[in-house]
Amino acid sequence: MTMSIDGISEDDRQDSDYDGAWKEALRLHLRAFIERCFSNLAELIDWTCEPEWLDKEMSQIIGQSGHRNREVDLLFKVRLVDGREQWILCHLEIQTSYEAEFEFRIDLYNAGLSGSFGKKY
């Protein structure tokens, strides 16, 4: 464990819930977020149908990966304008420090979703 100048260890800081507010903001403003950041995707979504949040499914994948709960790993299902259903994994990570194997963890999430639910990402 490494101590910082303010007496709070880096490990303690890493376990703090910095992500909860971001998760709530995304839930409340999902359409605006997608329109601003992913305008091409926003045009494909039928916004007359409410997105369906798949928190239980995401929790299953996080639990299988052996990592602590990441609060801003959102999985939701939308209806596209052509009538098809689409699952979207929105991973927003607010990090206070560098994570060496970040890409590996994201690959675990994608593999878990593919294996457990037959979804390709």
Query: What ranges do the domains of the chain cover?
Result: 11-117
Q: Are 53 and 76 in contact (CB under 8 A)?
A: yes
Q: What is the pTM of this model?
A: 0.65
Asked if the model's pLDDT at residue 103 lies above 90, the reply is no
Query: For the segment 27-86, what is each residue's pLDDT rounded down to a tens digit?
Result: 899 999 999 999 999 999 999 999 998 877 766 666 655 555 454 577 888 999 999 998
Taking only the tens place, the pLDDT of each residue in 22-35 is: 888 888 999 999 99
Strand order in the sheet with 85-91: 52-53, 73-79, 85-91
* Cα–Cα distance for residue pair 55/73, rounded to 1 Å: 9
Q: Is pLDDT above 70 for 110?
A: yes
Please tell me the distance from the alpha carbon of residue 112 to that of residue 78, in angstroms, as a whole number: 20
